[in-house]
A = this chain, B = another copy of it.
Amino acid sequence: MSTFGHLFRVTTFGESHCASVGAIIDGCPPGLELSAEDIQIQLSRRRPGQSNLTTPRNEKDLVHLQSGLEHGVTLGTPIALLVKNEDQRPHDYSETDLYPRPSHADYTYLEKYGVKASSGGGRSSARETVGRVAAGAIAEKYLKIAYGIEIVAFVSSVGKIHLPSTATATNSDDDNDDAPDPLSPEFRKLLDTITREQVDSHPTRCPHPETAERMTKRIIRAKDAQDSIGGTVTCVIRNVPSGLGEPVFNKFEATLAHAMLSIPATKAFEIGSGFRGTEVPGSAHNDPFIQRPDGSLGTLTNWSGGIQGGITNGESIYFRIGFKSPATISQAQPTAQYDGTPGSLAARGRHDPCVVPRAVPIVEAMAALVVMDQLLIQNSRRAARELLPPITTLPPTMVLPKKQGKVEEKEGGSA
């Protein structure tokens, strides 16, 4: 279905060749000051045609707000918004009339619906993510104001070129084939401090300049070869209150994985220590508790990625998503037609040789949607709990000593 979330609900519409793409955002808190510009910033980071690393398909992607606002303030009612499809050129895709593009969605959409759009993959197009990014920008604005939550994603690999674990390292070899080590102090510091400005300072959106340069070359190489290349995006969410995540099926990381794997071209997800964490003994992997300066509990290390038992513990949440190489390439590929006839297909049309730079704001948007929805659900429970009298029948160690209000005490509240 095209709806995500329970209390903060986003429903998107549109494919690449219809009149517009967009979304309805239902459940936005009332009283939030919001402008088209708040949304436009992220849409512009997502839009095609930003640099020579992305598709030349040029869309201005201006957002048109339809409802849910008056005098620049949200009413709490559904916010509908749309972005027109101006640069459509439907004929570019005529080649696909006979061939389902390999590893694209042409074949599966036809199998699913019995009909297909002229663009082939219909809603599997990256263009569908416009509605998500717009919705995520709204959620982010609220999270920032109300809780000081910060969400920053960046490119952590292109092909075999990985952001090094140590920010100061110079990798002389072309291919640095390991993901960043979450135990490294440099990597943890990067997660603690990275900003979107730093991310955007290079077109690849990799915050390590030397690696970014090598990534650029790798992408250009793919483009020149009429080929494509994949990569990974890492994302950190800072200042998330503890207690978010719904046992047992909507654990925080389960919902996050769901959100991320719903982005086109994704193949893998890991939270905190991820696959690497499976190789480390428990004695080394466990995050010991320590007292924070403010008296609350924190953890010394953060292999858990900010989540334990499916519930946030107040530490930074970080995760990594794998994006495959784009399926649409200009070089000829041997394959078969819909009717089984063998042949060769060379895609026309415009497409990205590597999607990860443009995927950054999409990852941020989906992360914001997850946090926002889980926050609203937990807020409801907390508010319900607060009205009950003190518990007298449980041993003291089984009861949280009047800290339930904590969520509201975050400094962002009065910003």
Q: How near does chain B come to A249, taking the closest CB pair, in angstroms?
A: 4
Q: Contact flags (1/0) for A323-364 with B, using CB distance below 8 Å? A: 111111101011110101110000000000000000000000
Q: A19-B64, A103-B286, A383-B408 are in contact. List 16 more A-B contacts (CB 8 A).
A: A1-B9, A7-B380, A22-B66, A30-B115, A31-B114, A73-B115, A111-B242, A112-B243, A231-B278, A270-B275, A282-B325, A282-B326, A282-B329, A288-B333, A380-B380, A389-B415
CB-based contact B71/A29 at 8 Å: no
> Min CB distance, A138 to chain B, in Å?
13
A97 proximal to B (CB < 8 A): yes
Complex-state Cα separation, A115 to B82, whole angstroms: 24
Can you report 21 residue pairs joining A to B where beta carbons are below 8 Å apart?
A: A2-B77, A13-B24, A13-B66, A13-B67, A14-B80, A18-B67, A21-B67, A29-B385, A31-B113, A31-B388, A75-B116, A77-B122, A103-B304, A108-B245, A111-B243, A111-B313, A111-B403, A115-B394, A157-B278, A380-B380, A389-B415
* Partner of A381 from B19, B29, B222 at Cβ < 8 Å: B29
Question: In chain B, what residue has the closest Cβ to A30?
Answer: B113
**Tally of this chain's copies:** 4
Q: Is the CB of B308 within 8 A of A232?
A: no
Distance in Å: Cβ of A131 to nearest Cβ of chain B: 9
B-contact bits for A277-315, CB 8 A (1 contact / 0 none): 111111101111111000111010001110111111110
**A111→B287 CA distance, assembly (Å):** 17
Identify which of A43-51, A52-60, A208-216, A257-265 touches chain B.
A257-265
